[in-house]
Amino acid sequence: MHAAADTFHGYPRYLDMLGGEFRRHGPETTVALRVKDPDHPVTRGIRPGLSVVDEIYQFQRDDPGRVHLSLALARHPETGGPGEDPLGLGAPPRRGRVFSTALGHRADVLEAPWFQTHLLGGIPWALGLGVSGRWAAPHA
């Protein structure tokens, strides 16, 4: 979680599996979360527009055609300009599933019930455990 996209730079297979690569982050800031898929297990506990203070990663190599974007920002974390910066990615590789979240730098975020629900939705989903409905099988 949080720093998964800031590891294994120079290993395209890992970065392709993850669905994005850390480019940079600015100072910790308050952002409003944009739930892109309210039915996905990773977003079920997050109410749209929830504000959070965290260290917000900005990505490179994120290809919306290769990943399922479940959580995003509606505005750039530093400029406030329009954009759709990813926060929660689910990249289905050929064998298995990947769940990654860019949130979780701060202790108060880690301890927040909504974030724990976020993790407890993503981990079992990535493992293929206890998942029903349209997310029971890996998506393309």
What CATH number should be reported for the domain holding residue 12? 3.40.50.880
Q: How far apart are CA 24 and CA 116, in angstroms?
A: 25
Across 87-115, average pLDDT = 81
Element (H, E) at 125: helix 113-127
Binned at pLDDT 50, 70 and 90, residue 48 comes out as confident
By residue range, what is the domain housing residue 110? Answer: 4-129
The tokens describing 11, both together, are 């290993």
Mean pLDDT of 31-42: 88
Task: Determine, yes or no, domain membership for 16.
Answer: yes
In angstroms, how far apart are the furthest CA atoms of the chain? 40
Question: Domain count of the chain?
Answer: 1
pTM, full prediction? 0.82
